[in-house]
């Protein structure tokens, strides 16, 4: 790239030149954010930082769309991606042949703990 003297330009030329440079830099920087680089950055994120970011995102969602949208979105995510404890519970219930509704399995209804290789299970039965 040829060397350009910003001092020799008029104010309008200078503004246009710097604006173009800024746009070019933004596009080049945006191309550097690949899925691989984003995964690498997430590996360096502490759980406290992730919690803070999640809290900020939740506050912004409430501001823009309301609490109901936040609740429904998080509910959909929890149903689509059950926790390890919820997966254990579903497997146990399926093994012993009980019918269950995954939407009713929540942390309030059961607990799974493991001590010295023994799994302790506590279920609160809900009769519908």
Domain ranges of the chain: 8-44, 46-81, 82-123
b (16+ CB within 10 A) / e for 78-100: beeeeeebbebbeebbeeeeeee
How many whole angstroms separate alpha carbon 17 and alpha carbon 88?
61
For the entire predicted model, the pTM comes to 0.45
**pLDDT tens-digit series, residues 19-46:** 877 766 666 677 778 888 888 887 888 8
Both ends of the chain: CA-CA distance in Å?
73
Instruction: Encode pLDDT of 95-123 as tens digits.
Output: 887 776 666 655 555 555 666 666 565 65
């Amino acid at each position: 790239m040829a060397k350009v003297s910003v001092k020799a330009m008029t104010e309008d030329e200078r503004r246009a030149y710097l604006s173009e440079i800024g746009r070019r830099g933004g596009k080049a920087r945006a191309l550097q954010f690949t899925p691989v680089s984003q995964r690498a950055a997430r590996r360096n994120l502490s759980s406290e930082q992730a919690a803070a970011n999640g809290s900020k995102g939740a506050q912004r969602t409430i501001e823009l769309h309301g609490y109901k949208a936040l609740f429904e979105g998080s509910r959909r995510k929890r149903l689509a991606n059950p926790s390890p404890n919820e997966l254990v519970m579903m497997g146990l219930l399926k093994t012993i042949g009980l019918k269950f509704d995954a939407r009713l399995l929540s942390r309030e209804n059961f607990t799974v703990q493991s001590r010295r290789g023994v799994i302790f299970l506590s279920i609160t039965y809900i009769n519908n």
